[in-house]
Homo-oligomer: A and B are copies of this chain.
Amino acid sequence: MSEMSKSQTKNKSTGPTNAELEILRVLWSLETATVRQIHEVLTDGEKQTTFNTTLKMLNIMLDKGLVTREDVRRPHIYQAAIPEEQMQQQLVSDLLKRAFGGATRKLVAALTASDISNEELADIKQFLNDQEEKNDEHAN
């Protein structure tokens, strides 16, 4: 924690890229997977890439520390290196800064501006109530 402090502001979206995030989502859902499995899930949708492309992505992500793998035997078994929630927090925090100047309320406004069901709203409010209680507990 010494020299990077100054030019660290350049660290904007050095998070996962688009393709990387897609793969992470598969890994989060499968817990653990081979390249073949990941590739099959990806190409179930609209993705039209070769196995090698997926493999290369996993290599890159391993380099970046986004995934870990078990390579004692073949097919190597991959795993997300970062929990889903943590990455999501990072992504939201990033967007909050980049597009909203940190104004949380504006983000919520944008989130609820589109059509959102009352069911979802109630769900969210329930969640916020729980959150508030937690805050109160810690405050005491």
Whether A118 contacts B136 by the Cβ 8 Å rule is: yes
- A112 with B91, Cβ < 8 A, contacts A10-B46, A136-B118 known: no
Whether B107 contacts A92 by the Cβ 8 Å rule is: yes
Residue of B nearest to A122 (CB): B132
A113 adjacent to chain B (CB < 8 Å):
yes
> Bound state CA distance, A125 and B86, in angstroms?
23
| Chain A residues packing against B (C-beta within 8 Å) | 7, 9-10, 12-13, 18, 21, 25, 45-46, 85, 87-89, 91-93, 95-96, 98-101, 104-114, 116-118, 120-125, 127-129, 131-132, 135-136
Whether B121 contacts A100 by the Cβ 8 Å rule is: no
Question: Chain B residues near A120 (CB, 8 Å)?
Answer: 104-105
How many copies make up the complex? Answer: 2
- Tell which of B12, B89, B93, B123 touches A105, judged by Cβ atoms closer than 8 Å: B123
Whether B124 contacts A96 by the Cβ 8 Å rule is: no
> Bound state CA distance, A135 and B118, in angstroms?
7
Question: Chain B residues near A114 (CB, 8 Å)?
Answer: 89, 93
Question: Chain B residues near A100 (CB, 8 Å)?
Answer: 88
Whether B118 contacts A92 by the Cβ 8 Å rule is: no
Question: Chain B residues near A87 (CB, 8 Å)?
Answer: 99
